[in-house]
Amino acid sequence: MASEKKAMAEHVEKETSIDHASHSEVDQTDLKTSNEAHAAIEKEHNMTPLQAVKIYPKAVGWSLLLSCAIIMEGYDVVLLNSFLGFPAFNEKYGNLMSDGTYGLTASWQAGLNNAMACGQIIGLFLNGIVSERYGYRKTLMACLASTVGFVFILFFAPNISTLVAGELLMGIPLGVYQTLTVTYASEVCPVALRAYLTTYVNLCWVFGQLIASGVLKGLATRTDQWAYRIPFAIQWVWPVPIFIGVYLAPESPWWLVRKDRREDAVKSLKRLTKANSPGFSAEETASMIIYTDALEKRVETGTSYLDCFKGIDRRRTEIACCVWAAQSLCGAGLMGYSTVFYQRAGLAVSQSFTMSLVQYAIGVIGTLSSWILMTYFGRRTLYVGGLFLLAIVLLVIGFVSIAPSTSAISWATGSMLLVYTFIYDSTVGPVCFSLVSEMPSSRLRTKSIVLARNVYNIFNLVTGIIIPYMLNVDAWNWRGKSGFFWGALCIICLVWAFFRLPEPKGRSYAELDILFENRVPTRQFATAKTGLVQEDFKGDGSA
């Protein structure tokens, strides 16, 4: 009996020692990951934009290429709205109006624009599910292929009803482009480049507007069917080269980590960076992503749409949604209807297309200016300041329109819309894309951005209904007085942003997780300590 008890004791002791060794190994692995994560966060904090470009040149290239998909949305949106002031299009799909010209009724205008918005809402919700399951690359390639098919419907549409159906279907892939491009940009680049690559999405959107306006300006004198069919056909140009680029591009390392594919994430990071870059370690960066994911798992129960409204993520979702909603509520819809707006303000057709072309060129300059401004000012400062200036411009447009209608008043109204465009594309427009990608947690980023963009699209459904009525001569015919309405809404957005929008500049995703978890007040985000960078560490080096 004594020998049996001794053998049993030795067996238990052996099993216990193995168990302790196993736990020790796990703890050691966690400690290594934590140390590597802190090292990677520290390096990103000390990294300048120029250093980041030298280390991540491939990430910059892939991000710029994939973001070009958003050109199609900017192009299509302006195409439709500008067609409303296009004589050949109106004669084909419109009716004779009371002022003796051809045009679409306000209800068909609203239906045409809202069809695309409805399609985008469908595409966005599908993106939140499909991209998280199959990855960003496969989802984007499927959408690019479908875009080619949907253009056929627009190109051959025999009547306005078919055109509306085509825009509904086209909206589905466009909705995916809206969020997947900015999500990919935010996940393949370091903190130093995050704002520039995410706001580049807005530049692509403006490029699409500029191209559409230039095409329409060149075809404005045509009176045959090719006046509107050629602009539709040009949409076949984008998908093929972008599809090839997406096929060759690496997958997001953040998505790979969420799928427990660390080795693939490391390989992806190596493909995104320059080989043998001094001071860079793909292993450390992968550990930082894993560390951030672990931080979020500690306070989150899942990755469903419902989880976006639970606990601390409720605040993050609110900020992302309201930031994007303000883009619609601050009067930006008037830019999409600029050609019609200029005509309703009293300018000739040729002059209205010229002004639209100038407007979108100014938009490009404005977005490039935002990159300089973001170097010196935070996202919050630019966003709040931008809303303040936009409100002033809109109210000025409203007051100018009270005066008797003259050529000088028409040009003054058009000029103020150009000023509005520059301010918008220097502040609220591009900064929004950076903010909505930074506010959500990494585990809920795609779904939070989808929700935010859908809030924007829902408001666009409303604006898509009321703006045609504001500008249509047989409806409300408000013309420049629309500035009063949008100016008031812009002031409401300004008040919300001042009290609820935090500053994410220079913060890693792990730091933002800690700030939200600790419920740091909005105006303390820029200065609050997180303990993840060297100056915040305790004396023993622990966070």
Q: What is the pLDDT, as a whole number, of residue 162?
A: 92
Whole-model pTM: value is 0.80
From 517, 372, 514, select the one nearest 431 (Cα to Cα): 372
Mean pLDDT along residues 213-233: 84
Residues of the chain with pLDDT > 70, as a percent, come to 87
pLDDT in tens, 258-305: 999 999 999 999 999 998 888 889 999 999 999 888 888 877 657 789
Mean pLDDT along residues 358-375: 88
Q: Is the pLDDT of residue 155 over 70?
A: yes
pLDDT in tens, 163-183: 999 999 999 999 999 889 999
From 530, 431, 504, 438, select the one nearest 187 (Cα to Cα): 438
Q: Is the pLDDT of residue 439 over 90?
A: yes
pLDDT in tens, 309-350: 998 899 999 999 999 999 999 988 877 666 666 666 666 767
Map out the domains of the chain as residue ranges: 56-249, 304-527
From 131, 22, 126, 124, select the one nearest 73 (Cα to Cα): 124
Q: Specify the CATH architecture of the domain 304-527.
A: Up-down Bundle (1.20)
Mean pLDDT along residues 360-382: 89
Cβ partners under 8 Å of residue 187, min gap 6:
252, 253, 254, 255, 442, 445
Mean pLDDT along residues 470-496: 85
Two domains, one topology: 56-249 and 304-527: yes
Class of domain 56-249: mainly alpha
Listing DSSP states for 41-108 in one string gives HHHHHH--HHHHHHH-HHHHHHHHHHHGGGHHHHHHHHHHHHHTT-HHHHHHH-EE-TTSSEE--HHH
pLDDT in tens, 448-474: 999 999 999 889 888 877 877 786 666
Q: What is the pLDDT, as a whole number, of residue 10?
A: 44
Highest mean pLDDT among 39-43, 64-68, 78-82: 64-68
pLDDT in tens, 84-108: 767 778 888 877 776 667 778 777 8
Listing DSSP states for 318-361 in one string gives HHHHHHHHHHIIIIIHHHHTHHHHHHHTT--HHHHHHHHHHHHH
Mean pLDDT along residues 181-202: 91
For residue 538, name the pLDDT band (cuts at 50, 70, 90).
very low
Residue 424 in contact with residue 80, Cβ under 8 Å? Answer: no
Q: What is the pLDDT, as a whole number, of residue 130?
A: 93
> b or e along 384-395 (b: 16 or more beta carbons within 10 Å of the residue's beta carbon)?
bbbbbbbbebbb
Q: What is the pLDDT, as a whole number, of residue 345?
A: 60
- List the beta bridge partners of residue 103: 95
For residue 26, name the pLDDT band (cuts at 50, 70, 90).
very low
For residue 1, name the pLDDT band (cuts at 50, 70, 90).
very low
- List the beta bridge partners of residue 102: 96
